[in-house]
Amino acid sequence: MVISRHITGKIRSARYAVEAVLIPLYLFLPWLRWEGHPWIRLDIPARKFYLLGNIFTPQEGYFLHLFLITMGLSLFFFTTLIGRVWCGWACPQTVFTDLFDWIGRSVLGSKYGKKDAPFFGKVFVHFLWITVSLLGALAWISYFADPYEMISDVRASSFWITPPVWIYFTGFFTATLYADMAFVREQFCKYACPYARFQTVMMDADSVNITYDFKRGEPRRKAGVQEGDCTACNLCLVVCPTGIDIREGVNVGCIACGKCSDACTKTMGKEGKKTLIGYFSENQAKQPGTPIRWIRPRSIVYGTLLTCVLITAFVLLYERTPMYANILPDRIIQPMEVPGGVVRNFYNGNLLNLTFEKRTWNLRIVDSTLRTPVRILMGGTEIPSLQVEGNGSENFRVILEAGIQPEDRLIHTHKISLELQDVENEKNRMKKTVPFLIPQNGR
């Protein structure tokens, strides 16, 4: 683990302001409610995903695919424009590293990260780190389990006798977060993060990133002789959390945190000069005053693809029906023919209400390959409707019967299209096509 020297400056202050918003957001977002329901939660046992008042099921996996594609294209698009700004400003790995670093410096002061730091001070720092790791693990688990139910579990008398499942995951993630923040930190970004491996491919000479103005800075001061503006103070290297030298050019270990820029700003300020390190492009370093080319082939391609995916996602969300229905032929009771030439088929259905309100759904026939009308029998009555509680499901039984004409018997399997329609909102409807079998030889 590299514990870099603390540095202050405009970029560091701006990052503190951003992190002051992000840390509460990461920790308390699972606690927020939308009309009494979670803003965001992935309920794996119930196979449901809650997001801003909407409920999604595994059958709507295409939304997950669109989300992942959007994240990937956003990564490509913004990296092309502004480099690894996500890594240095918003990534949870960086944000929590700064939090743990702040705790260590607040307790140990100038002795933080040094071998001669007081023993009990280091123990206290690690105790605080473990505590924060526990809180972070609980926050992470809260994205998958209801935090209010977790509190109820802790208050229950049987908590220590039969611990809930989430307690084991909390212990695992607490240990993982503590090990990461106490011993790995930005070295994960440098050696393990896959983004670091390919971000240099997505960037070009017009991408804005933390860059060293080598044209002004080189050659560096040496033996009291200064030819370039760089004084060779190496403060940019000392404050780097990943231990790289930004003066060597684009590096996979650079997370664009801007600490080197603040350090160089201080050093160059003493010389009455402008900083050599800042957020600008390689072309601007080569030719000062060159404007940034935001619009270029790769940014156009990534931006166009991202826009198309977002439009597709918004259209699908707008047209989305907040329900899931499944109607299948009964495997036990086979189709039968009753006196009068009437054939009955039996079906089992399941309706899932993906809203938080009680809804009534009507079932009707919209298309059929039979020549005669088809009747719906549901629950022993001819009223084809059912009610489902908010965020609930209902199993139901459907019987379809029709008088069969001689021409219909020529085809063994017919198709009938059923439609479920929300009584409160006619826009919400779903069509299901089921087979209608005609028994052969009176069977």
Q: How far apart are CA 156 and CA 233, in angstroms?
A: 60
Do residues 209 and 250 touch, judged by C-beta distance below 8 A?
yes
The two three-digit tokens of residue 266, written as one number: 């201080």
Boundary (domain end) residue, out of 233, 258, 286: 286
Which of these three, 162, 183, 202, is where a domain ends?
202
Crossing angle (nearest 10°) for helices 259-270 and 10-28: 160
- Tokens for 244, please give them: 């790289």
Considering the domain boundaries, does residue 297 fall inside one?
A: no
The percentage of the chain sitting over the pLDDT mark of 90, rounded to a whole number, equals 46
Whether residue 364 contacts residue 418, with contact meaning beta carbons closer than 8 Å, is answered with yes
230 and 369 in a single domain? The answer is no
Residue 305 falls inside a structural domain? no
- Give the CATH number, domain containing residue 375: 2.60.40.10
CA angle, residues 215, 216, 221, in degrees to nearest 5: 115
Distances (CA, A) of 397 to 358, 378, 380: 20, 6, 9
Residue 296 covered by a domain: no
Residues of the chain with pLDDT > 70: what percent?
97
The arithmetic mean of pLDDT across residues 272-279, rounded, is 92
> Considering the domain boundaries, does residue 411 fall inside one?
yes
- The pLDDT of residue 384: 84
The total number of structural domains that make up the chain: 3
- What is the tens place of the pLDDT at every residue in 138-162? 999 999 999 999 999 888 888 888 8
Same structural domain, 23 and 154: yes
23, part of any domain: yes
Residues 173-185 have pLDDT tens digits of: 999 999 999 888 8
Q: How far apart are CA 343 and CA 82, in angstroms?
A: 68
pLDDT tens digits along 345-395: 999 999 999 988 899 988 999 999 998 899 998 865 556 888 899 888 999
Indicate whether 44 and 123 sit together in one domain: yes
CB 361, CB 351: distance < 8 Å: yes
- How far, in Å, CA of 248 to CA of 381, rounded? 80
Is residue 221 in some structural domain?
A: yes
Tell me, yes or no, whether 196 and 217 share the same domain. Answer: no
Mean pLDDT, range 253-258, rounded to an integer: 89
Same domain for 196 and 219: no
Q: What pLDDT, on a 0 to 100 scale, did the predictor assign at position 46? A: 85
Residues 43 and 161 in one domain: yes
Bridge partner residues of 436 (DSSP): 414
Strand positions, DSSP E, 290-427: 323-329, 336-338, 342-353, 359-368, 374-378, 385-388, 393-403, 413-422
Q: Looking at the structure, do residues 127 and 230 belong to the same domain, yes or no?
A: no
Checking if the pLDDT of 63 tops 60, the result is: yes
Between CA 232 and CA 228 the distance in angstroms is 10
Give strand ranges (E) for 16-83: 33-34, 37-38, 40-43, 48-51, 54-56
Residues 6 or more apart whose Cβ sits within 8 Å of residue 69: 309
159 plus 34 within the same structural domain: yes
| Predicted local distance difference test score (pLDDT) of residue 57 | 87
Tell me the pLDDT of the chain averaged across its residues.
Answer: 89
Instruction: Look at residues 248, 272, 274, 277 and name the one whose alpha carbon lies nearest to residue 261.
Output: 277
26-44 tens-digit pLDDT: 999 999 987 778 889 998 8
Is residue 300 one of the residues assigned to a domain?
no
**pLDDT tier at 1, thresholds 50, 70, 90:** low
Residues 31 and 136 in one domain: yes
Same domain, 43 and 192: yes
Residue 440 CA to residue 220 CA, distance in Å, equals: 94
Q: Provide the token pair at 193.
A: 């993060």
Compute the distance between CA of residue 193 and CA of residue 255 in angstroms, rounded to an integer: 11
Neighbouring residues of 225: CB distance < 8 A, sequence distance ≥ 6 = none
pLDDT in tens, 68-99: 999 989 989 999 999 888 888 999 999 999 99
Residue range of the domain that includes 413: 323-437
pLDDT of residue 443: 46
User: What was the pLDDT predicted at 215?
Assistant: 87
What is the pLDDT at residue 415? 94
Per-residue tokens: 369: 């390959």
181 and 230 assigned to the same domain: no
Sign of CA dihedral 376, 377, 382, 387: negative
My answer on whether 215 and 110 are in the same domain is: no
Res. 219: pLDDT tops 80:
yes
pTM check: above 0.85: no
pLDDT (average), residues 268-289: 89
Residue where a domain terminates, one of 239, 266, 286: 286
